[in-house]
Amino acid sequence: MKKIISTLLLFAAPVFLLAQTISLAGSVRDQHGIPVVHAFILDQQQRNATFTDSLGNFSLKVEPTSQLNINCNGYQDDSLQVGGKNHLEIVLRQNPVSISGGEKLKNKDLDILQEAFKTNSSQYMEGHLNGIGAMVFTEIRETVGSRFLFNQWVPGFVIKKDGSLVQMKEVTFNYDKMAGDLYLAVTNASVMMADKATIKSFSLFSPKGQLMTFELVSQVSKDLYLQVISAGSKYKIYKLFITKFVPSNFKTDGIVSSGNTYDEYTDEYAYFIYNLSTNTLAVLNTRKKDIKAAFAAEGSKLTDYMTAHNDKIDENYIRGLADAMNQ
């Protein structure tokens, strides 16, 4: 599928990560006090962003003097100053146009999107991505697992290589774990594929309320994006999804049977550690001796953490360890 260079620049300011930040928590509700789900909150100064969860709650690192931009499909956009506060209660007013007939993408915005991303609905529906509906991902035949990260479209945003942030409340996303392609579904329009040549990272808000950020790390793969498990001033931990398709292989001679009657997508994972001090990227195995070697520079800090957390070394352990070593 041919890709068109993205020209969508909704927020043109670059990403700055060095300013002092505070932890902001809060909620977004409508004028009737009902939680607003998947409201997008952007810190204009820091260029940090997140979405509200199923209860309308959010948390975000912001500058004390930042302006927040808030939008959600079906509601009027709003903005307000943080004012040094650690907690904000935000109210969005419902958009009557959206309530009555469904909010439509403006023609000029749709034109920009169509210039930015390749639209090819027929190939998308009939080609190697069989089984995707307008808003729900399904399989044509009995299948376990999926090549997609989610079984539905989810809200998200993209950081382009020039540092600009791309987000539209009418656009939702999903990620193809096998091909490494990011897809966008546009309200009342079509399905498009993002151009990897223009994307630095993208963040998707999962149905479970987790903001998952992905980056293209060419030293690991030129096609597949890696999830950022932990990021700080010293270390960054990446997770690579290795998804394989296993076709049904059921066999029987009338007496003995073997194999499965269904197709299956299987997921395996590989972890990588990037050391910002030495500018090196390495495989991070989930064995205790490899963990110790990867964080050897932390000395007693590492020893104390591993003594206090004698748990199974899994993704949660790695995330917690990296977060602690980054402090």
Our count of domains for the chain comes to: 2
304 found inside a domain? yes
Asked whether the predicted pLDDT for residue 130 surpasses 70, the reply is: no
**Identity at 44, one-letter amino acid code:** Q
Q: What's the pLDDT at 60? A: 94
pLDDT digits (tens, 9 = 90+) for 60-71: 999 999 999 999
33 found inside a domain? yes
- The 8-class DSSP code of residue 296 comes to G
164 found inside a domain? no
Indicate the pTM of the whole model: 0.76
Rounded Cα–Cα distance for residues 42 and 155 (Å): 14
96 found inside a domain? yes
Residue 206: CB partners within 8 Å, gap ≥ 6? 150, 154, 212
Percent of the chain whose pLDDT exceeds 90 = 54
Domain edge (last residue) among 84, 101, 118: 101
167 found inside a domain? no
Domain extent, residue 251, equals 216-327
Measured between its terminal Cα atoms, the distance across the chain in Å is 44
Rounded Cα–Cα distance for residues 292 and 308 (Å): 14
Rounded Cα–Cα distance for residues 117 and 3 (Å): 7
- The 8-class DSSP code of residue 141 comes to S
Q: What's the pLDDT at 132? A: 41
258 burial level (CB within 10 Å; 0-12, 13-18, 19+):
exposed
**Identity at 95, one-letter amino acid code:** N
Residue 160 CB neighbours (<10 A): 23
Tell me the β-bridge partners of 35: 29
Q: Which helix (H) or strand (E) holds 53?
A: none
Percent of the chain whose pLDDT exceeds 70 = 79
Q: Are 318 and 325 in contact (CB under 8 A)?
A: no
175 found inside a domain? no
**Identity at 220, one-letter amino acid code:** V
pLDDT digits (tens, 9 = 90+) for 35-55: 999 999 999 888 889 999 989
Rounded Cα–Cα distance for residues 303 and 314 (Å): 18
CATH assignment of the domain containing 31 = 2.60.40.1120
315 found inside a domain? yes
Domain edge (last residue) among 101, 116, 134: 101
Nearest to 116 by CA among 44, 203, 174, 182: 182
pLDDT digits (tens, 9 = 90+) for 273-324: 999 999 999 999 999 999 999 999 999 999 999 999 988 899 999 999 999 9
Rounded Cα–Cα distance for residues 46 and 62 (Å): 6
Domain edge (last residue) among 101, 122, 144: 101
Q: Cα angle vertex 321, ends 316, 324, to 5°? A: 125
